[in-house]
């Protein structure tokens, strides 16, 4: 079946692609920073909190991890206006993605905290350190180092998952693809280009996280 690939039409829409790419990067960066912070707090609550706090954090983590991201997104963007809270697409995206990443991060970081041997904590306690001091100086860094690969995989996964916010018309990279598709009707070419861009992004991210590891943990 003869078909001439017309990538030129797609490349003519460069501006839309670049704009989409920028938003994807912004959403990813913001989500990773905020989601990581939320995750560490939730993990600390799960491991060190009082029973009520542990239960609350547990409910948060389990309800997010057992429901699809797109449903969470629809709940926030379409559902909240029912309750009087209306958010624009970008804000709704950031909130949903952050809450989502926070839950997955919490599980990973929790495993990290629990991987620090008891004897380390005893050593800190025996020097007269308080609980929070032991956490900050003895537990935190070794815990993060232990789960670094899982964490970075989760972050890359989240960057790819930002594509879902296209469904509430946030103009990130995947949404740009849909726009170009409707303008040029070059379905295959468009999504091939989008796919290659995502692939490049994920490879760059992994490489970047590898560099970060060497800077922060390789002494």
Partner 1 sequence: MSLVELKRVTKRFGANVVLREVDLRVEKGEIIAIIGRSGSGKSTLLRCINGLEPVQGGEVWCDGVAVHDPKSDLRALRARVGIVFQSFNLFPHLTVARNVMLGPTIVKGMAADDAEKLAHEALRRVGLEEKIGAWADELSGGQQQRVAIARALAMSPTIMLFDEITSALDPELVGEVLLVLEAMARDGMTMLLVTHEMNFARRVANRVVFMHQGKVWEEGPAKEFFAAPRTEELRSFLSSVLH
Partner 2 sequence: MIRELSLTDVEYLLLAMRWTIALTALALAGGGTIGLIVAACGASGRMLPRYLARGYVGLVQGIPLLVWLFLFYFGLSIFGYNLPPWVAATLGFSVYAGAFLGEIWRGALLSIPKTQWEAGRSIGLTFIEQLRHVIIPQAIRVAIPPTVGFTVQLVKNTSLAAVIGFVELTREGQLTTAATYQPFAVYLIVAALYFCVCYSLSRYAGALERSRRVAR
Q: Which residues bind partner 2 (CB under 8 A)?
A: 1, 3, 62-63, 65-72, 74-75, 78-83, 160-161, 163-164, 166-167, 174, 177, 181, 187-188, 191-192, 194-195, 198-199, 202-203
Q: How far is the CB of 45 from partner 1 (least distance, A)?
A: 23
Min CB(198)–partner 2 separation in Å: 5
**Nearest-approach distance from CB 122 to partner 2, in angstroms:** 25
Q: How many CB atoms lie within 10 A of CB 78?
A: 11
Residue 44 C-beta: closest distance to partner 2, Å: 22
Query: Which is closer to partner 1, CB of 53 or CB of 129?
Result: 129
**Residue closer to partner 1, measured from CB, 64 or 144:** 144
In angstroms, what CA-CA distances link 101 with 80, 131, 153, 163? 20, 27, 12, 14
CA distances to 21, 35, 39, 62, 173 from 107, rounded to whole Å, are 29, 12, 8, 10, 29
Residue 8's binding partner among partner 2, partner 1, none (Cβ under 5 to 8 angstroms by kind) is: none
Contacts of 38 (CB under 8 A, 6+ apart): 98, 99, 101, 102, 105, 106
The rounded Cα 81 to chain-centroid distance in angstroms is 25
CA 97 to CA 108: how far, in whole Å?
A: 17
If contact means CB under 5 to 8 A according to the sort of partner, which of partner 1, partner 2, none does residue 120 touch? partner 1
Residue 67 interacting partner from partner 1, partner 2, none (CB closer than 5 to 8 Å by kind): partner 2
Q: How far is the CB of 124 from partner 1 (least distance, A)?
A: 8
CB atoms within 10 A of CB 76: 21
- In the complex with partner 1, which residue's Cβ is closer, 145 or 183? 145
CA dist., res. 57 & res. 49, Å (int): 9
- Nearest CB to partner 2, comparing residues 93 and 134: 93
Q: What is d(CA 115, CA 98) in angstroms, rounded to the nearest whole number?
A: 25
What is the contact surface with partner 1 in residues (CB under 8 A)?
A: 119-120, 122-130, 133, 137-138, 141-142, 145, 219
């Amino acid at each position: 079946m003869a078909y001439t690939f017309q990538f030129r039409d797609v490349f003519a829409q460069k501006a839309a692609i670049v704009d989409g790419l920028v938003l994807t990067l912004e959403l990813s960066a913001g989500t990773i920073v905020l989601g990581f912070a939320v995750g560490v707090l939730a993990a600390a609550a799960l491991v060190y909190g009082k029973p009520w706090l542990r239960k609350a954090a547990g409910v948060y983590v389990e309800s997010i991890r057992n429901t699809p991201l797109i449903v969470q997104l629809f709940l926030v963007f379409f559902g909240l206006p029912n309750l009087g809270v209306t958010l624009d697409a970008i804000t709704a995206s950031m909130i949903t993605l952050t809450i989502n990443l926070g839950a997955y991060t919490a599980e990973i970081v929790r495993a990290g905290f629990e991987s620090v041997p008891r004897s380390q904590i005893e050593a800190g306690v025996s020097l007269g350190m308080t609980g929070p001091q032991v956490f900050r100086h003895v537990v935190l860094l070794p815990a993060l180092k232990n789960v670094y690969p899982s964490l970075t995989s989760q972050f890359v996964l989240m960057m790819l998952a930002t594509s879902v916010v296209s469904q509430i018309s946030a103009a990130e990279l995947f949404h740009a693809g849909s726009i170009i598709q409707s303008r040029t009707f070059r379905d295959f070419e468009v999504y091939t280009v989008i796919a290659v861009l995502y692939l490049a992004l994920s490879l760059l991210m992994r490489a970047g996280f590898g560099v970060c590891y060497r800077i922060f943990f390789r002494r």
